[in-house]
């Protein structure tokens, strides 16, 4: 497992640092990918689980007290032009788990976490938003058992319009 990189670490052979790369690549926290990773960070940080770098394709986003947690993110506003706010939807599809230690996929297709944390960025004012303001976020914890009982074959779960 890789260790955390220091923000002021220089990129060898250049006059720039890792923090400059991060600012360039990840400043748009409203974009789907970056917002999702940011939501994972918020959940992981609140549980004290951000001491190690995230693993991109792990079985679940976090393991906490022996339970696997999957973090999902959605927002009404997006980085791109919109005619209307996006509807809130989260993927709850069954998948095969990948083990980064072995490089192998599981044979079983299922929901691989014990619970989901659905993170909703609620701001709908694209002219003056602040994704770093926690007052604009809502978090919902749902057990996988509940999802399996009520939505056994559903691939997505949606909020009411």
Q: What is the pLDDT of residues 67-123, one digit of tens each?
A: 999 999 999 999 999 999 999 999 999 898 888 788 888 888 889 999 999 999 999
Read off the tokens for 137: 């976020």
pTM for the complete prediction? 0.90
Residue 27, burial from CB neighbour count under 10 angstroms (0-12, 13-18, 19+): exposed
E strand or H helix that includes residue 138: strand 137-143
Are 113 and 144 contacting, i.e. CB atoms less than 8 angstroms apart?
yes
């Amino acid at each position: 497992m890789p260790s955390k990189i220091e923000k002021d670490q220089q990129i060898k052979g250049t006059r720039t640092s890792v923090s400059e790369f991060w600012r360039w690549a990840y400043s748009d926290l409203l974009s789907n990918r970056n917002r999702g990773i940011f939501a994972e960070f918020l959940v992981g940080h609140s549980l004290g689980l951000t001491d190690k770098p995230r693993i991109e394709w792990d079985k679940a986003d976090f393991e906490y007290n022996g339970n696997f947690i999957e973090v999902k993110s959605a927002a009404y506003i997006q980085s791109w032009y919109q005619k209307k706010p996006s509807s809130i939807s989260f993927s709850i599809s069954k998948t095969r788990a990948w083990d980064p230690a072995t490089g192998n996929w599981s044979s079983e297709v299922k929901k691989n976490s014990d619970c989901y944390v659905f993170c909703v960025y609620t701001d709908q004012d694209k002219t003056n938003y602040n994704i770093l303001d926690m007052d604009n976020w809502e978090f919902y914890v749902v057990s996988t058992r509940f999802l399996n009982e009520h939505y056994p074959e559903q691939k997505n779960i949606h909020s009411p319009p």
